[in-house]
Each structure stands twice: as structure tokens, then as C-alpha cells.
């Protein structure tokens, strides 16, 4: 994404959040460091020929200096007094259908991004995701098939327990939310069975029945928070990892972009390399991500992951060894 496309996305994000969106969230949404976002915002507010009606929650503070406006916690708004909107009410299936057509429109990318953000903003996909969540990039979305989705969504909203046919067996669950994982382009049901919360691939849910029983939705539960430590959609134990990334080519920049949405600890070491620390769930997908950096990445901790990496590398080398006759 170049700077022009990024500024279009910034404006789309601000316009899609009439309640305001902070600079840090804008940086995360665009996948760039805060320093880059800060410069972009300065360019946007200094446009003379076509001034953009942007303002912040610090504008009316008498003692605020200009630099105080460009802090990551400052919220940004777009003036909409002169705008008129035609309300369009879409359910999730209709919204996903519209999103799927946007990439085929012969329009400017910023316009398409604006439409995408407006549609998504109506799906409870903001900062406090409770019922629905999109993990990864926001598009493209795989169309929703069958009748299970609206039944599940209604059960979530009304706290109704369901019986689902999954992987050849029937289980009773408390549906907590629906998630779209963009890397695999798949929809998942997040549900509680007993005391365990798991994900269920919706394509493998062949039947859904309402039980007529209600359940108490977990207080304070958020899909976004629950998925926070997860690397992909794997189920497993929470582990602490440390990885050192060498400062080669665009390695460091890519790491920053890939983990911008996570609460990772990133430390620049004296030799210019980057130390990544995080609590993760999902060993297999995490290892696949690390291997994508080749020799520019080294897992420091835990030892078990180092051994898994070594095993993967040996298996790969085995594919290239010449047979000895």
C-alpha cells in the first residue's frame, strides 16, 4: 500500500468511526508504525487546495500545542455537517455479498475502501467485537452458504443453546460468536461446550437445531480479546515465545506490519536486530510464519519450538538430498 492509498484508507477509517478513532488504531488499521501514521496525518491536515474537515478531541483545549494533536491516543473525527446519507439496512449475508463485488468496481481504491469500511462498521466489527469478528485483512470475504448462519446468529443474540452436527457427531453448545479468518477464507463458530471455548469450522457444521434452552453469555467476553494471543485458529496452550529477527532487507518492517494488531513486545537490539516477545496460542501457524523469514529469524525461546523448527528444516533438506545408489 503506497502513501496515496494509505491516506485514502485513513480517511475511510475516520469516516467509518463517527465516535472517533485514535491515531494508534489508525496505524494498526493501515499496518504501519505510529511514526509513519503521524506524518500522514500531518500531511492530511495541512492540505491547502482541498482542505479535509478533520478535527481531534484536543482541538478545543486552549493550552494545546500543535504537536499535542499528533499523539497516538488522540482521537480523530471527520466533520459531517454538510453530508446527507441514504440509510441502507443490510444483514450479514447481504453485506458480505456487497463486499465481494467491490473489487470488481472500476472505481478509485479510496472510494472502494470507504464503502468497505462503512459496510463493516455496521457489523459490530469495531473496537469492541463481541458477536462477530474478522481475523486478518478485512477482504475478500467468502460468501456465506446455507441456512446455518442466520440460525446461529439469532441464537447468539438471544442467548439460545444449540445442538450442532459437527464432524459426524452431535454436540450441544452455547454459541458466543462468528469469526471470519481471512487467511484461510473460512467462517468459524466460537462456542462453549461445558467449560471449554472452541472454534468450529462452519463448513463442517452440517446441521443446527435450537434446543429451546437459554444460557448466560459470559460477562465481559470479547471475541477480539479471546483471539488476541491466537496465531491463526489453532487450539492449544498459551506459551511465551522470543524470536530474534535480523535487520535484513525489509524483515524488520514486515515484522512490525504483521504483528501491528497484537500486544507484542518489540525491542531493537544494539546490532540493529529486532527481539520479538509475545504470548501465543497456535504453534504450527506461528512456526510457519517464522520460517517464512528464512535465516533472518531465530527462535530464542522456548527450546521446544527451536527443536520443532530444526525438525521442519531437516525434513525440508531431506527433499533435496540426492539418493545414493
Residue recorded with cell 477509517 = 13
Check whether residue 73 and residue 20 sit in a common domain: yes
**Tens digit of each residue's pLDDT (9 = 90 or more) over 175-223:** 998 887 776 777 888 999 988 888 898 888 888 999 999 999 888 888 8
Q: Which tops the pLDDT comparison, 94 or 301? A: 301
In the chain, the N- to C-terminal Cα span, in Å, equals 52
Residue 84: inside a domain, yes or no? no
162 pLDDT exceeds 90? yes
Over residues 61-89, the mean pLDDT reads: 64
Average pLDDT over all residues of the chain: 79
Q: Are residues 94 and 61 in the same domain?
A: no
Beta bridge partners of 174: 192
Gyration radius of the chain over CA positions: 23
Is the same domain home to 65 and 104? no
How sure is the predictor about 261, in pLDDT bands with cuts at 50, 70 and 90?
Answer: confident
Question: What's the Cα-to-Cα distance from 73 to each of 5, 13, 26, 38, 228, rounded to whole Å?
Answer: 23, 16, 10, 11, 20
- What CA–CA distance (Å, rounded) separates 23 from 73? 6
The grid coordinates listed for 268 are 531493537
| Closest C-alpha to 189, from 173, 203, 200 | 200
Is the pLDDT confidence value at 235 over 70?
A: yes
Same domain, 177 and 211: yes
Q: What would the pLDDT profile of 65-75 be if each residue is shown by its tens digit?
A: 456 678 889 88
CA–CA separation, 226 and 190 (whole Å) = 10
Grid cell locating 92: 450479514
Which of 56, 52, 141 is closest to 100 using CA atoms?
A: 141
Provide the percentage of residues in the chain whose pLDDT is more than 70. 73
Domain C-terminal end among 28, 55, 78: 78
Average pLDDT over residues 218-241: 82
What are the E-state strand segments in the chain?
21-22, 54-56, 75-78, 132-135, 160-166, 169-181, 186-193, 196-201, 205-214, 239-245, 265-268, 274-280, 297-301
For the cut 50, the answer to whether the pLDDT of residue 129 exceeds it is no
Assess whether 215 and 97 both reside in one domain. Answer: yes
Q: Which domain holds residue 142?
A: 89-227
Amino acid at each position: 500500500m503506497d502513501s496515496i492509498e494509505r491516506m485514502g484508507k485513513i480517511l475511510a477509517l475516520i469516516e467509518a468511526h463517527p465516535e472517533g478513532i485514535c491515531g494508534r488504531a489508525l496505524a494498526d488499521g493501515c499496518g504501519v508504525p505510529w511514526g509513519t501514521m503521524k506524518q500522514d496525518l500531518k500531511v492530511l491536515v495541512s492540505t491547502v487546495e482541498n482542505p479535509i474537515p478533520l478535527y481531534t478531541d484536543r482541538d478545543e483545549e486552549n493550552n494545546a500545542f500543535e504537536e499535542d494533536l499528533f499523539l497516538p491516543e488522540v482521537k480523530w473525527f471527520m466533520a459531517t455537517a454538510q453530508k446527507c446519507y441514504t440509510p441502507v439496512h443490510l444483514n450479514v449475508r447481504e453485506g458480505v455479498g456487497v463486499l465481494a463485488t467491490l473489487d470488481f468496481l472500476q472505481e478509485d481504491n479510496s472510494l472502494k475502501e470507504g464503502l468497505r469500511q462503512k459496510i463493516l462498521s455496521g457489523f459490530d466489527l469495531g473496537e469492541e467485537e463481541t458477536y462477530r469478528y474478522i481475523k486478518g485483512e478485512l477482504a475478500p470475504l467468502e460468501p456465506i452458504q446455507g441456512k446455518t448462519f442466520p440460525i446461529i446468529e439469532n441464537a447468539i443474540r438471544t442467548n439460545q443453546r444449540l445442538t450442532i452436527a459437527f464432524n459426524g457427531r452431535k454436540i450441544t453448545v452455547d454459541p458466543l460468536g462468528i469469526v471470519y479468518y481471512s487467511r484461510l477464507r473460512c467462517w468459524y463458530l466460537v462456542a462453549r461446550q461445558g467449560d471449554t471455548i472452541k472454534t468450529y469450522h462452519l463448513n463442517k457444521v452440517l446441521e443446527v437445531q435450537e434446543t429451546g434452552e437459554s444460557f448466560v453469555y459470559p460477562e465481559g467476553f470479547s471475541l477480539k480479546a479471546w483471539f488476541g494471543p491466537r496465531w491463526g485458529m489453532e487450539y492449544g496452550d498459551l506459551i511465551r515465545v522470543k524470536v530474534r529477527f535480523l535487520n535484513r532487507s525489509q524483515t524488520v518492517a514486515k515484522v512490525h506490519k504483521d504483528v501491528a494488531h497484537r500486544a507484542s513486545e518489540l525491542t531493537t537490539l544494539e546490532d540493529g536486530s529486532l527481539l520479538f516477545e509475545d504470548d501465543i496460542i497456535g504453534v504450527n501457524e506461528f512456526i510457519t510464519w517464522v520460517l517464512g523469514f528464512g535465516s533472518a529469524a531465530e527462535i530464542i525461546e522456548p527450546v521446544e519450538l527451536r527443536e520443532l523448527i530444526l525438525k521442519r528444516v531437516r525434513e525440508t533438506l531431506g527433499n533435496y538430498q540426492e539418493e545414493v545408489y
